[in-house]
Amino acid sequence: MSLAHLQPTYQPLSNYDNTNIAIVVANWHSEVTEKLYQGAKNVLEKYHVKTIQRFDVPGSFELSYAANHLASYGCFDAIICIGIVIQGETKHFDFICQAVSNGITKASQDNDVPILFGVLTPNNIEQAIERAGGKYGNKGEEAAYAALQMIDFQNQALHFYQSLDTDDLEIDE
Protein backbone atom coordinates (compact mmCIF):
# COMPACT_ATOMS: atom_id res chain seq x y z
CA MET A 1 0.00 0.00 0.00
CA SER A 2 1.42 3.36 -1.03
CA LEU A 3 1.34 6.11 1.56
CA ALA A 4 2.30 8.90 -0.88
CA HIS A 5 -1.16 10.43 -0.54
CA LEU A 6 -0.53 10.93 3.19
CA GLN A 7 2.53 13.14 2.75
CA PRO A 8 2.01 16.92 2.79
CA THR A 9 2.39 18.33 -0.71
CA TYR A 10 2.74 21.92 0.47
CA GLN A 11 6.18 23.47 0.22
CA PRO A 12 6.58 26.46 2.56
CA LEU A 13 7.19 29.80 0.85
CA SER A 14 8.35 32.15 3.55
CA ASN A 15 11.44 32.76 5.57
CA TYR A 16 10.43 31.86 9.12
CA ASP A 17 13.43 33.40 10.92
CA ASN A 18 11.12 35.91 12.63
CA THR A 19 8.20 33.55 13.17
CA ASN A 20 6.86 32.58 16.59
CA ILE A 21 4.73 29.45 16.91
CA ALA A 22 3.19 28.00 20.05
CA ILE A 23 2.43 24.31 20.42
CA VAL A 24 -0.16 23.50 23.09
CA VAL A 25 0.06 19.85 24.11
CA ALA A 26 -2.58 17.91 26.04
CA ASN A 27 -0.96 15.61 28.59
CA TRP A 28 -3.74 13.01 28.44
CA HIS A 29 -2.34 9.99 26.57
CA SER A 30 1.14 11.52 26.55
CA GLU A 31 2.54 8.39 24.89
CA VAL A 32 0.76 9.64 21.75
CA THR A 33 0.80 13.42 22.20
CA GLU A 34 4.59 13.43 22.77
CA LYS A 35 5.10 11.79 19.36
CA LEU A 36 2.74 14.30 17.74
CA TYR A 37 4.60 17.15 19.43
CA GLN A 38 7.97 15.83 18.26
CA GLY A 39 6.66 15.56 14.70
CA ALA A 40 5.41 19.15 14.73
CA LYS A 41 8.58 20.46 16.36
CA ASN A 42 10.80 18.66 13.83
CA VAL A 43 8.99 20.27 10.88
CA LEU A 44 9.19 23.74 12.44
CA GLU A 45 12.89 23.31 13.19
CA LYS A 46 13.49 22.14 9.62
CA TYR A 47 12.14 25.48 8.37
CA HIS A 48 14.07 27.52 10.98
CA VAL A 49 11.10 28.91 12.89
CA LYS A 50 12.54 31.48 15.32
CA THR A 51 10.50 30.54 18.38
CA ILE A 52 8.80 27.22 19.07
CA GLN A 53 7.20 27.55 22.50
CA ARG A 54 5.55 24.56 24.14
CA PHE A 55 2.69 24.88 26.60
CA ASP A 56 1.10 21.91 28.41
CA VAL A 57 -2.50 21.48 29.44
CA PRO A 58 -4.20 18.56 31.23
CA GLY A 59 -6.34 17.29 28.34
CA SER A 60 -7.85 18.11 24.97
CA PHE A 61 -10.80 19.97 26.49
CA GLU A 62 -8.41 22.62 27.79
CA LEU A 63 -6.75 23.21 24.40
CA SER A 64 -9.24 25.83 23.21
CA TYR A 65 -8.90 27.93 26.38
CA ALA A 66 -5.12 27.82 26.18
CA ALA A 67 -5.09 28.65 22.47
CA ASN A 68 -7.50 31.55 22.96
CA HIS A 69 -5.45 32.88 25.88
CA LEU A 70 -2.19 32.71 23.92
CA ALA A 71 -3.73 34.18 20.76
CA SER A 72 -5.22 37.12 22.67
CA TYR A 73 -1.74 38.44 23.46
CA GLY A 74 -0.71 38.63 19.81
CA CYS A 75 2.75 37.13 20.38
CA PHE A 76 2.38 34.10 18.11
CA ASP A 77 2.03 33.88 14.33
CA ALA A 78 0.27 30.52 14.70
CA ILE A 79 -0.72 28.09 17.42
CA ILE A 80 -0.80 24.32 17.04
CA CYS A 81 -3.10 22.35 19.36
CA ILE A 82 -2.13 18.72 19.94
CA GLY A 83 -4.34 16.26 21.75
CA ILE A 84 -6.29 13.04 21.56
CA VAL A 85 -9.85 12.01 22.39
CA ILE A 86 -10.51 8.28 22.18
CA GLN A 87 -14.00 6.97 21.45
CA GLY A 88 -15.53 5.35 24.51
CA GLU A 89 -18.82 3.74 25.33
CA THR A 90 -20.60 6.98 26.24
CA LYS A 91 -21.48 10.28 24.56
CA HIS A 92 -18.63 11.97 26.44
CA PHE A 93 -16.47 11.56 23.30
CA ASP A 94 -18.98 13.48 21.18
CA PHE A 95 -19.31 16.31 23.68
CA ILE A 96 -15.55 16.72 24.11
CA CYS A 97 -14.79 16.54 20.39
CA GLN A 98 -17.45 19.10 19.56
CA ALA A 99 -16.34 21.45 22.34
CA VAL A 100 -12.68 21.21 21.33
CA SER A 101 -13.25 21.72 17.61
CA ASN A 102 -15.71 24.57 18.11
CA GLY A 103 -13.50 26.20 20.75
CA ILE A 104 -10.37 26.10 18.60
CA THR A 105 -12.27 27.48 15.60
CA LYS A 106 -13.77 30.29 17.68
CA ALA A 107 -10.41 31.20 19.23
CA SER A 108 -8.83 31.41 15.79
CA GLN A 109 -11.61 33.57 14.38
CA ASP A 110 -11.88 35.84 17.42
CA ASN A 111 -8.16 36.56 17.52
CA ASP A 112 -7.32 36.45 13.79
CA VAL A 113 -4.53 33.96 14.48
CA PRO A 114 -4.24 30.60 12.73
CA ILE A 115 -4.91 27.91 15.32
CA LEU A 116 -4.34 24.43 13.97
CA PHE A 117 -6.31 21.35 14.97
CA GLY A 118 -3.82 18.57 15.70
CA VAL A 119 -6.28 16.55 17.75
CA LEU A 120 -6.72 12.87 17.02
CA THR A 121 -10.19 11.36 17.43
CA PRO A 122 -9.58 7.61 16.99
CA ASN A 123 -11.71 4.68 18.05
CA ASN A 124 -8.86 3.16 20.06
CA ILE A 125 -5.27 3.70 21.14
CA GLU A 126 -3.94 1.54 18.29
CA GLN A 127 -5.44 3.90 15.70
CA ALA A 128 -3.88 6.83 17.55
CA ILE A 129 -0.42 5.24 17.49
CA GLU A 130 -0.79 4.61 13.74
CA ARG A 131 -1.31 8.37 13.29
CA ALA A 132 1.51 9.45 15.61
CA GLY A 133 4.41 8.21 13.53
CA GLY A 134 2.97 4.84 12.56
CA LYS A 135 1.68 3.58 9.24
CA TYR A 136 -0.51 6.66 8.69
CA GLY A 137 2.27 9.16 9.27
CA ASN A 138 2.42 11.80 11.99
CA LYS A 139 -0.51 14.18 12.27
CA GLY A 140 1.67 16.54 14.33
CA GLU A 141 3.86 17.03 11.25
CA GLU A 142 0.75 17.72 9.18
CA ALA A 143 -0.43 20.34 11.69
CA ALA A 144 2.98 22.06 11.52
CA TYR A 145 2.88 22.16 7.72
CA ALA A 146 -0.64 23.60 7.94
CA ALA A 147 0.62 26.29 10.34
CA LEU A 148 3.36 27.29 7.91
CA GLN A 149 0.88 27.34 5.04
CA MET A 150 -1.48 29.60 6.98
CA ILE A 151 1.39 31.98 7.81
CA ASP A 152 2.25 32.03 4.11
CA PHE A 153 -1.42 32.74 3.32
CA GLN A 154 -1.41 35.70 5.71
CA ASN A 155 1.78 37.05 4.13
CA GLN A 156 0.36 36.65 0.61
CA ALA A 157 -2.89 38.37 1.59
CA LEU A 158 -1.00 41.23 3.25
CA HIS A 159 1.13 41.78 0.15
CA PHE A 160 -1.99 41.75 -2.00
CA TYR A 161 -3.78 44.28 0.22
CA GLN A 162 -0.72 46.53 0.24
CA SER A 163 -0.58 46.43 -3.56
CA LEU A 164 -4.12 47.71 -3.98
CA ASP A 165 -4.61 51.26 -5.17
CA THR A 166 -6.90 52.61 -2.47
CA ASP A 167 -8.28 55.23 -4.88
CA ASP A 168 -9.91 52.38 -6.82
CA LEU A 169 -11.65 50.88 -3.80
CA GLU A 170 -15.27 51.56 -2.97
CA ILE A 171 -15.67 51.97 0.75
CA ASP A 172 -19.13 51.91 2.28
CA GLU A 173 -19.51 54.56 4.93
Segments making up each domain of the chain, as ranges: 17-162
Strands 78-84 and 115-120: parallel
Render pLDDT for 38-64 as a digit per residue (tens, 0 to 9): 999 999 999 999 999 999 999 999 999
More confident residue, 8 or 113: 113
- Gap between the Cα atoms of 168 and 55, Å rounded: 45
Give, to the nearest 10 degrees, the angle between helix 63-72 and helix 92-111: 10
pTM as predicted: 0.89
Residues annotated as part of the active site: 92
Mean pLDDT (whole number) for 107-123: 96
| Euclidean distance between CA atoms 78 and 108, whole angstroms | 9
pLDDT, one tens digit per residue, over 11-44 is 777 789 999 999 999 999 999 999 999 999 999 9
Q: Average pLDDT over the chain, rounded to whole? A: 90
Taking the domain 17-162, which CATH number applies? 3.40.50.960
Q: What length does the chain have?
A: 173
